[in-house]
Structure 1
Amino acid sequence: MQSKRLFLLVMVLSIGIFSWFGLTILAIPKAHAQQPTVAIPTVTSSPFGPMVTVNSDQEQINVRAGPGAGGEYPIVGVLQQGETVPALGRSPGGGWIQIVYPTVNGGVAWVYAYLVTVKGGELPIVEPPPTPTPKVTPTIDPTLASQLIIDIGPTRMPTFTPPAPVQMPTYTQAPPISLAGGLPMGFIIIGFGVLGIFGLMISVFRGR
């Protein structure tokens, strides 16, 4: 009788340990694919001295090589809404502000004064840089050009072959482990544990 009780006790403990181990495996969370992130570079600024901030009603403003628009000075960059950069001075008329802009030659550029807000002190008057020299368009003697004209027949344009579509990887979640009939493994394990405990209780009552 003692050996039978010992056998039943060992069987129940084994089933209980196996059930706990199975439930622990089922509780492990599934890993998900991490989406790549892209860092957007921003212009860093110094917290000292006068600063200018792009007004909230402007989505972005142009940064120019000098205090002038309409083709007088080229656009060298942009500032986004709310972006803050150090200010160096004003144009003689006060309509343009010179700022620190490290991405251009010389490290300075200009923004329109009515599109930004100045904080941190007064700005001195700064002389504007000279306007860029317009490019000289070379001219060709018409008589010489007529002698160099070569009659070229029509040529067939090369055909364009679109590249093969890129197959993007997809991530699917593995289905839960189940036995025949669609019953999950967790319920099977718990059932074995309950049956073992029930058998132990019956053997104890019979021993009495």
Structure 2
Amino acid sequence: MSLPEEALAEFRLLLAEAQASTDPEPTAMNLSTVDAAGRVHARIVLLKAVDEHGFRFYTNYESAKGDELAQHAGVALSLHWKHVREGIQVRIEGAVERTSAADSDAYFATRPRGSQIGAWASLQSQTLPDRADFEARIARYEAQFDGKDVPRPPHWGGYLVVPDLVEFWYGAKFRLHERQRYERAGGTWTKRMLYP
């Protein structure tokens, strides 16, 4: 089910304002996941694309977050743009699914070469005995791909968060904020205001 056109347009407008602001990383978003024991984990990832289908980010499928996403597809995202208007927050909840190999390949090809090598070298979330071990892995893959394009590792790719909730929080003086929530139940999206 596609995002409501109004919500997608508003998100894109706010993102453009954030990108034009003094915010040093306007695509940074908190990703919250749940592990098999029900424990919640949160970290910052970068929003790489948004369209009517949802919100995309890319990572190592074998990382801690990759394991959590494989166990429990429900996620929450939040973005906070402090320097836009009186402050803006966007909350997104929904289910995650892997993007296609073609999508992951296309995005991976746009990454700087150092980031591509890092995707091969990092055993993300595993114990690192010492920094020298990581540096040796980087050197190994730099040598392996010397003079060649770096292909996408099979353990690395994209996720699409398919939302069933999108909430816009608009900051205002005296904490008299405005909140607009879009929710999907079945195949229908509804919109309502919330008290701040």
More strand by percentage: 2
Q: Shorter-chain-normalised TM-score: which range? A: under 0.3
With the length of structure 2 as denominator, give the TM-score of the two structures.
0.19
